[in-house]
Amino acid sequence: MSLKLDTYIITNADIAPGRDHVQGAREALEGGADVIQFREKNMDTGKMIRVCQIIQDLCRQYGAIFIVNDRVDVALAMDADGVHVGQQDMAANIARRLIGPQKILGVSAGTLVRAKKAEADGADYVGVGMIFPAGLKKDLRAAKGVEVLREVSQAVKVPIVAIGGIDHSNAPLCIEAGAAGCAVITAVIGAPDVRQAAANLAQVIRDAKARLERGLS
């Protein structure tokens, strides 16, 4: 399965008060997002399905991929393109069995061992992080650095998506280390102009890939 995962935007309604999931997704898509992941822990299931259906329709209009975080039931209910599960969520092999072979399955895997297992369990891509310090407290001990991207990308065949503290300045480092794409929340959804932030991120990732291709040619 060939996936375009370059600019991977995770929605968050708490980062920018007054900007809901749909608005954030729409503006990110207008800026060139390749993937929208809906991530929400507190919304009731009925509303979640309705919101996800709107975002899925937007993604199809823009030719982007729509992924639901964690909630396999919601992804199936509204026919999402795929689902993403973390280490504390439903096991990847169970998620694959439930969604079937045609849907996209993403799996979080912060280590090489977990990445290999995710691939064996049917992941179409692996989310690797956290790469850089992220969040309000900037926990330096949790950051793995880009070396983990290089290690995982050389060991698995599925594409990997870097996540954790990524912004326009350090995204190229992730691409150079082997990431197929960069997943961000704050750098785009939390920006004053989501559309422009998404466009800028998409451009720096394209430029990084172009430099990499020139270096390999």
Asked about 137 being catalytic, the answer comes back as yes
Catalytic residue among 39, 150, 195, 206: 39
Count of Cβ atoms closer than 10 Å to residue 139 Cβ: 12
- Gap between the Cα atoms of 45 and 85, Å rounded: 17
Whether the per-residue pLDDT at 27 is higher than 80: the answer is yes
Confidence of residue 18 (pLDDT cuts 50, 70, 90): confident
Contact residues for 206 (Cβ-Cβ < 8 A; gap 6+): 6
Contact residues for 209 (Cβ-Cβ < 8 A; gap 6+): 6, 175
- Gap between the Cα atoms of 176 and 146, Å rounded: 9
- Listing DSSP states for 6-75 in one string gives SEEEEE-TTTSTT--HHHHHHHHHHTT-SEEEE--SSS-HHHHHHHHHHHHHHHHHHT-EEEEES-HHHH
* pLDDT averaged over every residue in the chain: 94
Question: pLDDT value at position 87?
Answer: 87
Catalytic residue among 41, 137, 141, 157: 137
pTM of the entire structure?
0.95
Catalytic residue among 26, 71, 108, 153: 108
pLDDT digits (tens, 9 = 90+) for 46-58: 999 999 999 999 9
Asked about 211 being catalytic, the answer comes back as no
pLDDT digits (tens, 9 = 90+) for 149-204: 999 999 999 999 999 999 999 999 999 999 999 999 999 999 999 999 999 999 99
